Chain A
Amino acid sequence: MDPILEMTNVSKSYKDFSLKNINLSLERGCIMGFIGPNGAGKSTTIKLIMNLVKKDSGVIKIFGLDNASERNDLAIKERIGFVYDENHFYEELTVQEMKNVIRPFYSRWDEGLFTKYVKDFNLPMHKPIKQLSKGMKMKFSLAVALSHHAELFIMDEPTSGLDPLIRNEFLDILQSVIQDEDKSVFFSTHITSDLDKISDFITIIHNGEILLSATKDELLEEYCIVKGGKDILKEMNREHLIGLKEHQFGFEALARNKRELMKRCGNSAVLEKPTLEEIMLYSIRGETRAVPY
């Protein structure tokens, strides 16, 4: 089966920033966490997927359809649910009025489902959007995204600025959505702890380049944080160490091939299981020395 989202050699240049040869693939039934620091190119990638900016080169296929073709544009957007990091709804309208503006454009709009989410999220239907809190605006955005039987959810830092309680609630909802194995989520964030809980795939982007893209389990199994004295560092191949940090007593770095390292170092080095945040931080720090995945 075709991936639900596939980007091949996609590039986009601005005066002071470039997205270079982005390649990624998202399968059906998966959540991909798209992580990177601010300004790494996450939003630009999402804008390219949503056709909000024009790519310079490459191909983006969504549901197997080329998103650059005007003919496919509507068919693709019918099947996408989006949540952006900021509110783009008309602030003067009430939740009800805004929903009524959006509803006619989706042929598969499910009013019953929307009403259910409104109840679940405690959304005040007759309140102007400008009077909603950031969390409420996000929930409204999510309710809209979930109410037209979308197959792909594109989320651009939806949890940034939300308090931990609402963030957690938001992630729970996403997780329940993905119970349907035909649906996928592309979730961009710089809060890596969000992804520990829900993601299947992790893609790290930095300075407009994909540093690595793999399943979360693969990353957590294959990578490790290695710490040791200077004598061990001399024996090791520095090429295999990512984001190497040397200090007075020794070193620490991220390394791939945990098993091989365990064999080679034995008890002379400490190997620790990394968190996603550590994988991101070390990868970014050692960007130039990172082993290509």
Chain B
Amino acid sequence: MLYLIKKDILMQKKTIGLSLFVILLFSFTLSPMGTAGFAVSTLAVTYMLMLGASALEEKTNSDMMLVSLPIKKRTIVLSKYVSVYVYAAYAVLANVLIHFIADVLHMNSFGFPVTWQGVLGAVVAVSFLASVSFPLIFKYGYMKSRMANYVVLFGMVFGGTALVKYLTRSVDLGFLRDVSGGGWVGGIVPTALLVVLSCVLSLRFYKNREF
């Protein structure tokens, strides 16, 4: 599985360079949003790399080669899900680094405050997006599911931001700040369940897919 993840990173060398620029841009433009901006930045970069890998694979129909190799289809599917968290970790790390540098240079309007809530929010958002997108990609391929995936992304960025604003105003979300207990459980457990369900669905689609 490690080799498949490494392959996804290797073939996106250029995109990863571009993603650094995107993170820098977001650090400047979205910094007034604070933690929400951090989550959006992490989500956007993760999604960009996630779809980028699928797009490159579809370009040469590389699935045909992968499935012809002695690799379990389960490994191929799982590696895609794991790679999403690798991209997310990279985006978080890049943001932390930018925040640190901005702090040292006293550039207060640059970068995001990286908090556990922000990281949790980003992980939940990334997981949700991957959970919706991957089954579509494994069933129909990247090109055919592209439009649906964009709808999900924009729906989530704009709808999600609006929802968080609304909830923050009208509901007490204090429990989410309790990172040592209920907040983690409330955020992680449903997300983990969603990811598992999505994995099962993706694997089923991929096993039945014809190349």
Contacts and interface: CB of A to CB of B under 8 A. Distances in A.
Interface string B131-154: 000000000000000000000000
Given A88-B61, A90-B11, A90-B60, 12 more contacts: A50-B67, A74-B71, A77-B70, A82-B68, A84-B65, A84-B68, A89-B60, A92-B12, A92-B56, A93-B11, A97-B10, A105-B69
Contact of B70 (A52, A89, A97, A105): A105
B165 interface: no
Interface of B is mostly: helix
Nearest to B69: A105
A9 interface: no
Interface of B: 3-4, 6-7, 10-14, 56-57, 59-62, 64-65, 67-72, 208, 210-211
Contact of A52 (B62, B72, B208, B211): B211
B6 A88 contact: no
Interface in A83-132: 84, 86-93, 97, 100-102, 104-106
Given A53-B211, A54-B210, A101-B7, A88 B70 contact: no
B10 A88 contact: no
A51 B209 CA distance: 11
14 contacts: A47-B211, A50-B68, A54-B208, A73-B72, A86-B60, A88-B65, A92-B11, A92-B12, A92-B13, A101-B3, A101-B6, A104-B3, A105-B69, A106-B69
B17 to A, nearest CB: 12
Contacts of A106: 69-70
B58 to A, nearest CB: 11
B62 A88 contact: yes
Contacts of B59: 91
B65 to A, nearest CB: 4
A51 B73 CA distance: 12
A52 B67 contact: yes
B76 to A, nearest CB: 11
Contacts of A287: none
Contacts, number: 73
Nearest to A82: B68
Contacts of B211: 47, 52-53
Contacts of B56: 90-92
Nearest to B62: A88
A53 B68 contact: no
A91 to B, nearest CB: 6
A78 interface: yes
A77 B210 contact: no
A91 B60 contact: yes
Contacts of A105: 3, 69-71
Nearest to A50: B68
A101 B56 CA distance: 15
B64 A74 contact: no
Given A52-B210, A53-B211, A101-B3, A89 B65 contact: yes
Interface string A50-61: 111110000000
